[in-house]
Amino acid sequence: MEILLQGMIIIFLVWIIACVVRLLIGPTVADRLVALNILSGLVLGLLVLLGAQKRSSLFLDVALVYDIFGFLGFIAISKILEKHLKSYTANEE
Amino acid sequence: MVNIIVAGILFVIATVFGTAGIVGLFIFPDAYTRLHAGSLASTTAVFTIFLACLFVVSDWHFLARIVVIMLFFVVSAPTGSHVVAQLLWCSGIIPWKQKRKESK
């Protein structure tokens, strides 16, 4: 069981690194936004896996608060970026 | 013993879905198609991981916390993807289309 959890944590780390690469090289603002959305979900899964591996409920409390604040913060970011994206696409055409 | 087998099967399913999503994030040409592939990784794979963690842990307070996280995640993750798609569509980004092949 321990080796299953350890392997799954390593797989999650690889996915998170791939997502960060997409976040850094994303050619447009939209790609970075998509990568940020996916990154938030993957980090949540990693926190729950760590809590199950270390048998510590502290990680699960952190995961719940991270989920709530990540969702609210993401909506705020997308609200701010709305104007920026509109001017960006208008300049492109 | 049974819960280890069930958790292993769920881990394998999560690995398949998540790897498909992350690969799609890199080979697809457009923000919309990348969102479609990435939602597979961020929703289906992570939710399957939560289901597997229900079989891994045995204490009641772990189970209760994971169930609460699952309930909130089911609401928040698809809503976040929808917000991104609506933002992209309303800001006028044109979806990618396959170029027509030359007529025969």
Contact A52 B56 (CB under 8 A): yes
- In chain A, which residue's Cα lies nearest the Cα of B28? A31
For B5, counting Cβ atoms within 10 Å of its Cβ (0-12 exposed, 13-18 middle, 19+ buried), the class is exposed
Contact A64 B65 (CB under 8 A): yes
CA distance B15 to B50: 13
Q: Is the pLDDT of residue A40 over 80?
A: yes
- pLDDT value, residue A57: 84
- In chain B, which residue's Cα lies nearest the Cα of A30? B31
- Across chain A, mean pLDDT equals 86
Q: Which domain holds residue B7?
A: 2-90
Phi, psi angle pair for B97, to nearest 5°: -130, 145
Tokens representing B65 are 């916390």
Q: Is the pLDDT of residue B104 over 60?
A: no
pLDDT tens digits, one per residue of B7-66: 899 999 999 999 999 998 889 888 888 988 888 888 899 999 999 988 888 888 889 999
Residue B100, domain member (yes or no): no
Tokens representing B74 are 């089911």
- pLDDT value, residue A2: 83
Please state the domain count of chain B: 1
Residue B50, domain member (yes or no): yes
- pLDDT value, residue A92: 60
- In chain A, which residue's Cα lies nearest the Cα of B6? A1
- Are residues A57 and B63 in contact, defined by beta-carbon separation less than 8 angstroms? no
pLDDT tens digits, one per residue of B71-93: 999 999 889 889 888 888 888 77
What residues of chain A, 22 to 81, have a C-beta less than 8 Å from chain B? 22, 28, 30-31, 33-35, 37-38, 40-42, 44-45, 48-49, 51-52, 55, 57, 60-61, 63-64, 67-68, 71, 74-75, 78, 81
CA distance A4 to B8: 7
Minimum-distance CB partner of B8 among A4, A15, A52:
A4
B90 Cβ partners below 8 Å, 6+ apart? Answer: A82
In this prediction the pTM is 0.87
Q: Which value does ipTM take for this structure?
A: 0.86
